[in-house]
Chains A and B, each alone.
Chain A
Amino acid sequence: MKLSKENISQIDKALFKKFGVFYYDVRLEIVDHLASELEQMEGDFEEILPVFLNNKSDFIKETNLQLNNEGSRRSKIVLFKNIFSIKYLLTFIVVVFITYNLISLKGKEWFLEYFDFMPIILPAPISIFLFYEIFSSKRNSYILPFAGITNTILMTYPFIFIHIIRKADNFYCVSIFSFFMTLALAYYYMYFFSVRQHFKENNLLKL
Chain B
Amino acid sequence: MKNSQLYKGSLNTIVMKLLEENGRMYGYEITQKVKEITSGDLKITEGALYPALHKLEAEGILEVEVENVDNRLRKYYKLTEKGTTETVNRLTELEDFIRNMQSLVQPKLDTI
**Interface of A toward B, CB cutoff 8 Å:** 2-5, 7-8, 28-33, 35-37, 39, 58-59, 62-63, 66-67, 69-70, 73-74, 202-204, 206-207
CA gap between A3 and B71 in the complex, in Å: 8
Is B46 a contact of A8 with CB atoms below 8 Å? no
Asked if A204 meets B66 with Cβ closer than 8 Å, knowing A29-B27, A70-B55, A70-B58, the reply is: yes
Is A3 a contact of B70 with CB atoms below 8 Å? yes
Q: How many residues of B contact A (CB 8 A)?
A: 24
B37 → chain A, closest Cβ, in Å? Answer: 18
Asked if A67 meets B66 with Cβ closer than 8 Å, knowing A4-B71, A32-B28, the reply is: no
CA gap between A7 and B28 in the complex, in Å: 18
CA gap between A4 and B28 in the complex, in Å: 19
7 smallest CB-CB distances across A and B, nearest first, come from A62-B47, A66-B51, A36-B28, A203-B66, A5-B71, A59-B46, A70-B54
State the majority secondary structure of interface residues on A: helix
Chain A residue at smallest Cβ distance from B57: A202
CA gap between A171 and B66 in the complex, in Å: 51
Is A63 a contact of B58 with CB atoms below 8 Å? no
CA gap between A5 and B73 in the complex, in Å: 11
- 7 more A-B contacts (CB under 8 A) besides A63-B51, A203-B65? A8-B72, A33-B28, A35-B70, A36-B28, A62-B47, A67-B54, A203-B66
List 26 A-B residue pairs with CB atoms under 8 Å apart, sorted by A's residue number.
Answer: A3-B70, A3-B72, A4-B71, A30-B50, A32-B26, A32-B27, A32-B28, A32-B75, A33-B27, A33-B28, A33-B46, A33-B50, A36-B28, A59-B46, A59-B47, A63-B46, A63-B47, A63-B51, A67-B51, A69-B51, A70-B55, A73-B58, A74-B58, A204-B64, A206-B66, A207-B66
Chain A residue at smallest Cβ distance from B28: A36
Interface presence of B90 (CB below 8 A)? no
Interface residues of B in 68-84 (CB under 8 A from A): 69-75
A81 → chain B, closest Cβ, in Å? Answer: 12
B13 → chain A, closest Cβ, in Å? Answer: 19
**Interface of B toward A, CB cutoff 8 Å:** 26-29, 46-48, 50-51, 54-55, 57-58, 63-66, 69-75
A6 → chain B, closest Cβ, in Å? Answer: 9
CA gap between A46 and B53 in the complex, in Å: 31
B112 → chain A, closest Cβ, in Å? Answer: 45
By a CB distance below 8 angstroms, the chain B residues around A207 are: 66, 73
Is B75 a contact of A29 with CB atoms below 8 Å? yes
CA gap between A3 and B72 in the complex, in Å: 10
B83 → chain A, closest Cβ, in Å? Answer: 14
By a CB distance below 8 angstroms, the chain A residues around B46 are: 33, 59, 63
